[in-house]
Amino acid sequence: MYIVDAADPGGYVAALGGWQRAQVMALRAAVLQAAPGLEEKLKWGHLVYFSNGPVLLIRAEPKRVLFGFWRGKRLLHLEPRMRGGGKFELRTLELQEDTPFDRETALALVKAAVALNAELGNPQRAGQ
């Protein structure tokens, strides 16, 4: 993992280069289209989106971009390539330069993740 030197989400994207920048820009556009009301923050060194708690993240690394969902375990029917484990529901899709990814899938994932937080509450609270 590497930390992008930025003060805000726009600066995070601007600091990236190559295919990672293009991928993050495409994911960010899909997220904001699918759920315009999400709060976008630069947190923990990457982009994090909130609606009744954290919903998803976008993190660029030297050889991959991660598209992760706090309740991703419940979204595997939409994107079975997401990985994760442990007692938490966080799952991430690892995208590399040549990884095929469909914008419609991104839109569906975001909408479903926001709906889960609306229904179940903040995923960071115990018992959620």
- What is the model's pTM? 0.92
Q: pLDDT category, 1, cuts 50, 70, 90? A: very low
- Kindly report the number of other CB atoms within 10 A of residue 11's CB atom: 12
Asked whether the CA dihedral 18, 67, 85, 100 is positive or negative, the reply is negative
Question: In CATH, what number is assigned to the domain containing residue 27?
Answer: 3.90.1150.200
Model pLDDT for residues 75-111, shown as the tens digit of each residue: 999 999 999 976 679 999 999 999 988 999 999 999 9
pLDDT value for 2 = 58
Domain that holds residue 18: 9-119
Who wins on pLDDT, 91 or 1?
91
Q: Is residue 43 part of a domain?
A: yes
Q: Is residue 1 part of a domain?
A: no
What DSSP string describes 40-106? EEEETTEEEEESSSEEEEEEEETTEEEEEETTGGGGTTT-TT-B--SSS--EEEEE-TT----HHHH
pLDDT value for 100 = 86
